[in-house]
A = this chain, B = another copy of it.
């Protein structure tokens, strides 16, 4: 079971933007992750279309978060970038089944996919870039 590279890159871009907290050039992101500019453009367009980032053109242009990291739900991002096409071909296209048209697998795979996304629910982009609490509980003293 794999998520797409597209989703992987999308999450990385969001984490990068949340971490830097400023507008960044596409090239900067591409260099940092050593991934192609072309692929990154597509990922940026998808993130922009969903309203998570803002892309501006020109010399001062670049990518920046369009929402507070607290407001960006990772489950939504993954679901949107994956496009939820069904984990097997027959889930989206039951008519292709040559074997068991009423097979329960299809429904159970849909439920399993839902369980996957439900498990990611309420994890925000802010959670991903939050520094872990230091050991020995010093944070509660300071």
User: Which residues of chain A have a CB within 8 Å of any CB of chain B?
Assistant: 1-3, 7-8, 11-12, 15-16, 19, 32-33, 74, 82, 84-85, 87-90, 98-100, 102-105, 108-109, 111-120, 123, 127-132
Quote the shortest CB–CB distance from A3 to chain B (angstroms).
5
Main secondary structure of the interface of A (DSSP, over half): helix
Q: Identify 16 residue pairs between A and B in the complex whose beta-carbon atoms are under 8 Å apart, listed by A's number.
A: A1-B1, A2-B85, A8-B88, A16-B99, A19-B99, A33-B98, A74-B108, A103-B128, A104-B123, A105-B123, A108-B119, A108-B120, A108-B123, A112-B115, A112-B119, A115-B116
Across-interface contacts of A115 in B (CB, < 8 A): 112, 115-116, 118-119
In the bound complex, how far is the Cα of B102 from the Cα of A54, in angstroms? 27
A32 touches B113 (CB 8 A): no
Across-interface contacts of A113 in B (CB, < 8 A): 1, 116
Quote the shortest CB–CB distance from A116 to chain B (angstroms).
4
Quote the shortest CB–CB distance from A37 to chain B (angstroms).
17
Name the one of B1, B8, B15, B98 contacting A103, with C-beta atoms under 8 angstroms.
B15
Residue of B nearest to A109 (CB): B120
Across-interface contacts of A100 in B (CB, < 8 A): 15, 19, 128-129
Across-interface contacts of A8 in B (CB, < 8 A): 88-90
